[in-house]
Chain A
């Protein structure tokens, strides 16, 4: 075989098995399709609010979770609980206090593989200038064309962040546990 033939053979092999199919790295979040939902429980009744605007940076190779990085910044002003008076209260000083702290942030510190495209995400969540470590499971669902969906739910203690001041400080009507549900659509370059 000539060297030209060898080169041709290698080229064919590369076309058949593109490198990207084996090691994929997700590095963009399609925020327009993604959602972050905030689900409080009021005396057993569940309702939910959404944060319409947020930005997220991610670098995530499912095969190398130890090197994964994720960071998100949520525009609290974009919160909507579907009921204007309740939304106003949520944005006010008793809850998100958007005048003083307009953003909530999450910065990952560690990602651990749990097997079968499930991972444990550990990081620091900051709301109202209160930073607390959190960890929660996420599930990756791979889609066509180098895209994927990442689903996860995190239960926070709202009082850890000072969410619910004054008349809301008790947990008799609004439970301390609030579920934050993530659905992120990831793209690779």
Chain B
């Protein structure tokens, strides 16, 4: 496999050195959470298409179970991120792009926890408890309140749409590195293959 050509601080190509990847834990969490986020988003936007019935209850419940799962993984992800220095930013990109990338990442991290929390609050305000696969109950953080429930529902949806927009930016930027800059930045987020 071709190694990536990351440019060192001194401007020399480091292609003869192994790619600096994210840790296996960070890579696993990234892709697992990416799949969960996509599933959660499409489940979330279809809920209101279902009339009151067992199918709707099943969809809402799975959405909430997976949402709690995402929130738990978020803590693991933050722990990994704080204990491991990520690979350096590419030095072949303009500074503004690196700044934009850093800002995008910060907002992505914030949204990945803010959305499940807003969902949990929204459920509480609607008068429904939230559980983790029915195994344990999360406390209801606010009392039943129709107006508050609607506000939280709007916030949950708005933040989710913002997250999807940023994911489009994030994926677009990654593909730009892959196909236009051809700097193999994506390799950093790919599990290492052991070739003999």
Taking Cβ atoms with an 8 Å cutoff, the residues of A that contact B are 42-48, 81-83, 85-86, 88-89, 167-168, 170, 172-174
CA distance in complex: A45, B131 (Å): 6
Query: What residues on B are CB-neighbors of A44 within 8 Å?
Result: 61, 131, 133-135, 137
A94 to chain B, nearest CB (A): 9
CB <8 Å contact, B127 and A48: yes
Total CB contacts across the A-B interface at under 8 A: 53
CB <8 Å contact, A47 and B131: no
Pairs A-B, 9 closest by C-beta atoms: A44-B134, A173-B54, A43-B61, A173-B57, A44-B131, A82-B127, A46-B129, A47-B128, A89-B52
Taking Cβ atoms with an 8 Å cutoff, the residues of B that contact A are 51-54, 57-58, 61, 64, 123, 126-131, 133-135, 137, 144, 146
Which residue on chain A has the smallest CB distance to residue B51?
A85
Partner of B57, one of A43, A46, A82: A43
CB <8 Å contact, B53 and A167: yes
Known interface pairs A82-B127, A82-B144, A174-B57; A46-B52 also in contact (CB < 8 Å): no
Query: What residues on A are CB-neighbors of B57 within 8 Å?
Result: 42-43, 173-174
Task: Point out which of A44, A82, A172 has the most chain B C-beta atoms below 10 A from its C-beta.
Answer: A44
B132 to chain A, nearest CB (A): 9
- Beyond A45-B130, A46-B129, A173-B57, 17 additional contacts (C-beta under 8 Å) are A43-B57, A43-B134, A44-B61, A44-B134, A45-B64, A45-B129, A45-B131, A45-B134, A46-B128, A47-B127, A48-B127, A81-B127, A82-B127, A82-B144, A89-B52, A167-B53, A174-B54
Which residue on chain B has the smallest CB distance to residue A43?
B61
CA distance in complex: A167, B129 (Å): 23
CA distance in complex: A172, B123 (Å): 21
Task: Point out which of B57, B130, B135, B144 has the most chain A C-beta atoms below 10 A from its C-beta.
Answer: B57
Query: What residues on B are CB-neighbors of A174 within 8 Å?
Result: 54, 57
CB <8 Å contact, B61 and A167: no
CB <8 Å contact, B127 and A168: no
B147 to chain A, nearest CB (A): 12
CB <8 Å contact, A47 and B129: yes
Which residue on chain B has the smallest CB distance to residue A169?
B54
Query: What residues on A are CB-neighbors of B146 within 8 Å?
Result: 82
Known interface pairs A45-B64, A82-B144; A168-B54 also in contact (CB < 8 Å): yes
Partner of B54, one of A81, A85, A86, A167: A167
B46 to chain A, nearest CB (A): 16
CB <8 Å contact, B52 and A85: yes
CA distance in complex: A81, B137 (Å): 20
Chosen A-B contacts, 21 in total, with CB atoms closer than 8 Å, are A42-B61, A42-B128, A43-B58, A44-B137, A45-B61, A45-B64, A45-B130, A45-B134, A47-B128, A47-B129, A82-B126, A82-B144, A82-B146, A85-B51, A86-B52, A89-B52, A168-B54, A173-B54, A173-B61, A174-B54, A174-B57
CB <8 Å contact, B54 and A172: yes
CA distance in complex: A174, B60 (Å): 13
Query: What residues on A are CB-neighbors of B54 within 8 Å?
Result: 167-168, 170, 172-174
CA distance in complex: A8, B131 (Å): 68
A159 to chain B, nearest CB (A): 14
Query: What residues on A are CB-neighbors of B144 within 8 Å?
Result: 82
CA distance in complex: A86, B123 (Å): 15
Partner of B137, one of A46, A88, A170: A46
